[in-house]
Amino acid sequence: MASSPKDLHFVLFPLMQQGHMIPMVDIARILAHRGATVTIITTPVNANRVRPAIARAIEANLKIELLELQLSLSEVGLPEGCENFDMIPSFDLFPKMYAAMDMLEQPAENILRGLNPAPSCIISDNQFPWTTDLARRLVIPRFVFHGPGCFTYLCLHIVMNTNILNEIESDSDYFTIPGIADEIQVTKAQAAGWGKTETKEMVEFFQRMEVAEKAADGIVVNSFHELEPNYVEELKKAKDKKVWCIGPVSLHNRSFLDKASRGNKSGIDEHDCLKWLNTKEPRSVIFVCLGSMSSITTDQMIEIGLGLEMSKVPFIWCIRNTTKESEKWLLDGYEERVKDRGVIVRGWAPQVLILSHRAVGGFVTHCGWNSTLEGVSSGIPMITWPHLADQFLNERFIVDVLKSGVSVVEVGDRDKVGVLVKKERIKLCVESVMEREGEGEVRRKRARELGEMAKRAMEEGGSSYVNMSLMIQDIIDRL
């Protein structure tokens, strides 16, 4: 009979997407720090991305292991090596990835049955519905992990389980989400924004996810109680399940290496980045990063660059992908003009390292939940620029609930997909977030308070620390 975390073995199944992989690896390390044995099951490409963090955890004598399963990509019509959603060239191909993920069930069971000590609990992303059946066959509990926080999760639950979307004719029509404390207005397209999922395969997949979630033994959320207390309680009622907020898990990364290499290989030397930031005044730099899944046009990239230049504010700008045209524009004078005031990172940026530096005072974000929480944890106001899925609801949370951000897309344009945001608007938003008086100062103060709350939640005795203890105890009580 298990009597302490040291007797437990957690098996984690993270979704192969950076926004889901990164927090799951943090959760694995937190559990291992509590004394549990942890196994992360993923595919070779994704294992290579997180291997350095796991290797450091093993060096620190944590009982953590990375096991690989091979996706049958050629069988579903995806190219070999295309193992992460950020490597898939088109949203239309996502169903093929889900089909390949479904084929992991039997190989996963074979691995789990051979583990020693035997698994005590599965924590899996909600997009692995078959893990509920697997847990049942192994007679162990399964907790479901969702990418977003309780607010967004509850809003999605409401729109998916009521007729509200059927009553709205146009995708661009605004409506107020019913049954929640704050007045939140979104369009039909934004509320149902889990990608265009109206294919037969995707509708069936979402139905399976819902059935699997109903059978789950609890919900694990990367958030903290003080950030959204009403929504934590409302989510528990709506799902009729235990909900454990155990974040922000990014705050578990204390060392330079853990912050610098979180997620992927950086497109900039981290030491050079820190040296540059060290030369700047406190809270004077704006960080621009629009996520691993967002792609923007060359025209939009140029408008961002010109808006940053016009603002005269020091900046670090992460550009995930460049085209021949955008690269030419950067090299034909732009980089030279801003070299004393701006740093451009091509590819992956060490986001936690940058955001946690005292010189950074604002964050232009796509509103992915990880980035949202990392901005909150760093105590800095945000400029919100959502592109897809839950990002639109996360934006409303930042702007309307937390009141620590401003939207870059003007109200009249929010129903237009892919609207070009002009340099003048970008300059205005940057100045608004960075200003030290009036509304800007009110936002900054609010953001600082949220950052302090986040840190307290993760400390020993804080709400997230206690929730992690309660979650572990829940497993012990079941065995």
CATH number for the segment(s) 5-252+457-478 = 3.40.50.2000
Higher per-residue pLDDT: 195 or 241: 241
Mean pLDDT of the chain: 88
Band of residue 198 on the pLDDT scale cut at 50, 70, 90:
low
Give residue-wise pLDDT tens across range 29-65.
999 999 999 999 999 999 999 998 899 999 999 999 9
Beta bridge partners of 405: 382
For residues 363 and 375, the answer to whether their CB atoms sit within 8 Å is yes
The model scores a pTM over 0.85: yes
Kindly state the DSSP code that residue 169 receives in the 8-state scheme: -
In this structure, of 25-39, 211-225, 267-281, 445-459, the range with the lowest mean pLDDT score is: 267-281
Whats the size of the chain, residue-wise? 479
User: Residues near 468 by Cβ (< 8 Å), separated by ≥ 6?
Assistant: 30, 31, 34, 244, 246
Q: pLDDT at position 1, please? A: 46
Buried b / exposed e along 146-168 (16+ C-beta atoms within 10 A): bbbbbbbbbbbbbbeeeebeeeb
Q: What pLDDT, in 10s, does the model give residues 388-397?
A: 778 999 999 9
Reading across the β-sheet that carries 142-146, which strands appear in turn?
Answer: 64-68, 37-42, 9-13, 121-125, 142-146, 218-221, 243-245
**pLDDT digits 0-9 by tens, 254-307:** 655 666 555 555 556 677 888 889 999 999 999 999 876 567 888 888 899 999
Q: Region 166-189: what's the mean pLDDT?
A: 84
What CATH number matches the domain at 267-455, 1.10.3720.10, 2.40.10.500, 3.40.50.2000, 3.20.20.70? 3.40.50.2000
The domains of the chain are located at: 5-252+457-478, 267-455
The mean pLDDT value for 63-87 works out to: 92
Task: For residues 376-397, give the mean pLDDT.
Answer: 92
Query: Residue 399 — very low, low, confident or very high, per pLDDT cuts 50/70/90?
Result: very high
Per residue in 103-156, pLDDT (tens digit) is 999 999 999 999 999 999 999 999 999 999 999 999 999 999 988 999 999 998
Tell me the pLDDT band of 28, cut-offs 50, 70 and 90. very high
Phi (first) and psi of residue 122, to 5 degrees: -105, 130
Domains 5-252+457-478 and 267-455 share a fold: yes
**Percentage of the chain exceeding pLDDT 70:** 92
Q: Give me the long-range contacts of 416-419 (CB less than 8 A, separation at least 24).
A: 416/172, 417/189, 418/297
